[in-house]
Amino acid sequence: MAATDPQALHQRIPVPGHGLDAARMPGHWLLARLGKRVLRPGGVELTRWMLDNLALGPDDRVVELAAGLGATARLTLARNPGSFTAVDRDPAAVAALGALTAPGANEVVAVRADAADTGLPTGSATVVYGEAMLTMQPDPAKRRIVREARRLLTDTDSRYAIHELCLLPEDLDREHAEEITRDLGEAIHVGARPLTPRDWVALLTDEGFTVTASWRTPMALLEPRRLIADEGFSQAVRIACRALRDPVARQRVLQMRRVFRHHQAHLGAIGLIAAPTPSRP
């Protein structure tokens, strides 16, 4: 586990978006300001599924793209990989990630860079994963990030994983999908462009991967049961109390939850595990 206490770290290092107006800041930063640490659409349950299926071991060199506040990084480090590199473009996130430590003498590095252009050496990782970040990108940027993941991975025995928001069902019509995308953007103040499960698989396949495992779960980020499961009862109460004391934050959180509930039949969370597709001779 990380030696640094996450609550003490939060008090010393501002969360991303520190100082921004709560009415305008991205929704995930607002939730982080309120104390929410798990900001993934499928919650910690889907994150644990992802890490279990990546089967991390002491010989793995792991890279996490858009590592954010470090919630998944801590779960990864508890599995004692050979090395761990966290990539994020936000300086506050990088400062927090750089304070994490591994159980043994294994290397932990935090790099300030874009997920599509990490600057890390080609073939330097055996595992790359990213959560809740491809959803926020237009298609060309999605593809650049997936290509970067493929570049970082070794040619053999390597794995790539994603944990993202998805649209349901597979045959959801374009007009309805655009309505959901528009409503999400207005609520979270970030362009959200989720895909159907089939289209997520197609994206990875097109960019040189073969999907080996998948799992879906409801998108219930702001539902009380998921909040308690992800954060613990005491922290969930603290988050709720902070929101109640801040009228602007409360209004934003309620707006996000209304949109999530309104579209709940057509929103889910998906995890995919993939391996690089062997090159044809």
DSSP class per residue in 212-280: EEEEEEE--TTSHHHHHHHH-HHHHHHHHHHHHH-HHHHHHHHHHHHHHHHTGGGEEEEEEEEEEPPPP
Torsion angle of alpha carbons 259, 260, 263, 264, nearest 10°?
A: -160
Mean pLDDT to the nearest integer, 249-255: 93
What are the structural domains of the chain? 6-20+39-171+190-218+266-276 (3.40.50.150)
pLDDT digits (tens, 9 = 90+) for 161-191: 999 999 999 999 999 999 999 999 999 988 8
What pLDDT, on a 0 to 100 scale, did the predictor assign at position 17?
A: 56
> Are the C-beta atoms of residues 111 and 97 closer than 8 Å to each other?
no
11-15, 126-130, 232-236: least confident range: 11-15
Greatest Cα pair distance, the chain, in angstroms, is 63
What pLDDT, on a 0 to 100 scale, did the predictor assign at position 96?
A: 87
Residue 248: phi and psi, rounded to 5, are -65, -45
Rg for the chain, CA atoms, rounded = 18
What pLDDT, on a 0 to 100 scale, did the predictor assign at position 16?
A: 57
Residue 12 CB neighbours (<10 A): 10
Question: Is it the case that residue 193 has pLDDT exceeding 90?
Answer: yes
Burial degree of 167 (CB within 10 A; 0-12, 13-18, 19+): buried
Match 């991975």 to its residue by tokens: 153
Match 């970082």 to its residue by tokens: 152
What pLDDT, on a 0 to 100 scale, did the predictor assign at position 280?
A: 53
User: What 3-state DSSP class applies to 244?
Assistant: helix
pLDDT digits (tens, 9 = 90+) for 7-62: 444 444 556 555 667 778 888 889 988 999 899 999 999 999 999 999 999 999 99
Report residue 5's pLDDT band, with 50, 70 and 90 as the boundaries. very low
